[in-house]
Structures are given as C-alpha cells and as structure tokens.
C-alpha cells in the first residue's frame, strides 16, 4: 500500500480501487479501504513506475533544526552545529527537489559529500583546534544523510562539498539535524579555514584512531629499523582518498614516490 497525497491523478492499474483483482476475502486480509490518497500496487508495477522509495522517520518528541547554504563548485561549506543532548540524531543534506523544475528541465541531483567532525577543544587557530572524525557519507540523491543511534552532545563541524553538475544553476542546499535533543546551527565557518588544510587536519584525526577503522590500511617499517614510522591510507566512503605518514622517529626521514596513473 502506498500513500501519495500530492498526486494529480489516481492509479488505475492492477490493484487500484476499480481493479477486478480484488475479492472480498483479499480485501479483508489486506484491510482494504478506498480512502483518497491510499492505493495498492503490485511489486512489479512499483519497480516499473518508481525509481526510488523513501521511508519517513518521524517521532513526535524529536526536535528539528536547519540551515541553508550555498557554495560554488570547488568550494565547500562548514556548518557549526551544537547538539544539546546525547541520543539518536540524523544529520541530512537536502538538495532542491527535482519536482520543483519542469519535466523538460536538465536539472539533476549533484554529488554530495558530508563529513562530520566533533570539536573536542576549540581555538581561533586551526593548528590548535582538537577535533575527532565521526563519520562521512556521500551520494547522488536528493538527501544525503548520516543516522546515529547515539550521538554525543557537543559542538560539531559539518563539512559539506557539492560537486555541482555543469548545468546546475540552483546551488542552494539545506543542512538539517533531527533527533532527541535540541540542536542549533550557529554559522558557516568556511571563511575561517583553508579547505585543504581543514581536510588534512580532519583526516589526521581519523588516523590517530586508526585501530577503530578496518578500512584504514596501516604499514609499519619495523623491518627497516624505523618502528616509529607508520603509513596509513584509505579511500573513504565519502569519496576522499588520503595517505597519512606519522613519523615519530628522531633521526629518520621518510621519503616515498607516489604515482597516480588515473588521477581525476
């Protein structure tokens, strides 16, 4: 059974209100009624007519906050979010819905990266800020989201980067937080930091917790007499790749040639 309150016409195929497939017995088993906006379809027809289906996540006691943002290609947004309590929260990036454009429009959803860092110790200088990597996600859909069963209270940086399509003119998007506690978007702080410097800082924090992530490949150099050198690399779920060298040797220098054969 599906609900489509915004539809302009009714479904008239198999299992519609006027379909001959319904029997009194099947209606009773399915709890059938002919309320406006509710209708039934076969799974085959669903796959044919719908490219995606979303399940709403609603709780009457949850709080919702949002902030609109806009940035050009090759730039980014850095939302500062304050979460007041521990518990279930969902952080989402929403692009303008394709239904806002005419059917002959070339508009399509763009690739979105969302990376979440927790601010452990704040400072005016990036080098002095202490933050920890929390999670990263990416996608081509209207919504890109990260769901947390138990997100800790505190301040967070939400790094958002949109790879806008070449024909995209509407570059506005919305970042939201929905969960058990009240949350507040304070401001976009991208003007305070260099994009690449911020990412280096953020992924270095992930490497400092490398034992927590099976996806990080760690190489050591014990056999070469340099046990305090470690190389960590990963291609992340959010679409970034990194190589991080941690050299705690006092008298050894690490040198390596890296070749990218298909760099895009």
Domains of the chain: 2-49 (no CATH), 63-210 (2.60.120.380)
Which of 33-47, 97-111, 117-131 has the weakest average pLDDT? 97-111
Could you tell me the pLDDT band of residue 36, with boundaries at 50, 70 and 90? low
Helix (H) or strand (E) holding 197, with range, is helix 195-207
Q: What is the mean pLDDT of the chain?
A: 90
Residue 30: pLDDT above 90?
no
Task: For residue 233, count CB atoms less than 10 angstroms from its CB and return exposed for 0-12, middle for 13-18, buried for 19 or more.
Answer: middle
Instruction: Give catalytic residues, as residue numbers.
Output: 4
Tell me the whole-structure pTM to 2 decimals.
0.81
Q: What is the mean pLDDT of residues 211-222?
A: 94
Check residue 171 and give its pLDDT: 87
- Round to whole Å and give the CA distance between 155 and 147: 17
* Helix residue ranges per DSSP H, 17-155: 24-30, 43-49
- The DSSP bridge pattern shows strands 2-3 and 172-179 to be unpaired
Give percent of the chain above pLDDT 70: 95
* Torsional class of 208: left (φ above 0), alpha (ψ -120 to 50), beta (otherwise): alpha
Check residue 184 and give its pLDDT: 97
Q: What is the mean pLDDT of residues 59-63?
A: 93
- The DSSP bridge pattern shows strands 172-179 and 130-139 to be unpaired
- Positions of E strands within the chain: 2-3, 38-39, 63-70, 77-83, 87-95, 111-121, 130-139, 143-151, 154-163, 172-179, 183-188, 217-221, 226-235, 241-247
Residue 71: pLDDT above 80?
yes
* CA-based end-to-end distance of the chain: 44
Contact of 198 with 78, CB cutoff 8 Å: yes
């Amino acid at each position: 059974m599906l609900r489509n309150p915004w539809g302009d016409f009714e479904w008239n195929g198999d299992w519609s209100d006027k379909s001959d497939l319904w029997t009194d017995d099947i209606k009773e088993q399915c709890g059938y009624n002919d309320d406006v906006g509710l209708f039934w379809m076969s799974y085959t027809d669903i796959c044919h007519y719908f490219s995606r289906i979303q399940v709403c996540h609603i709780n009457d006691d949850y709080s919702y906050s949002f902030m609109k943002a806009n940035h050009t290609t090759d730039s980014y947004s850095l939302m500062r979010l304050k979460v007041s309590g521990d518990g279930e929260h969902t952080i989402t990036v929403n692009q303008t819905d394709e239904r806002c454009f005419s059917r002959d429009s070339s508009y399509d959803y763009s690739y979105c990266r969302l990376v979440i860092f927790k601010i452990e110790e704040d400072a005016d200088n990036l080098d002095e800020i202490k933050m920890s990597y929390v999670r990263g996600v990416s996608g081509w859909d209207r919504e890109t989201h990260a769901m947390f069963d138990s997100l800790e209270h505190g301040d967070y940086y939400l790094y958002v980067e949109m790879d806008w399509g070449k024909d995209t003119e509407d570059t506005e998007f919305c970042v939201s937080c929905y969960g058990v506690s009240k949350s507040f978007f304070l401001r976009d702080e991208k003007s305070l930091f260099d994009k690449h410097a911020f990412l280096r800082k953020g992924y270095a924090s992930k490497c400092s917790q490398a034992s927590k992530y099976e996806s990080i490949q760690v190489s050591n150099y014990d056999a070469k007499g340099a046990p305090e050198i470690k190389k960590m690399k990963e291609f992340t779920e959010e679409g970034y790749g990194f190589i991080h060298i941690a050299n705690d040797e006092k008298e050894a220098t690490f040198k390596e040639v890296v070749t990218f054969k298909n760099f895009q």
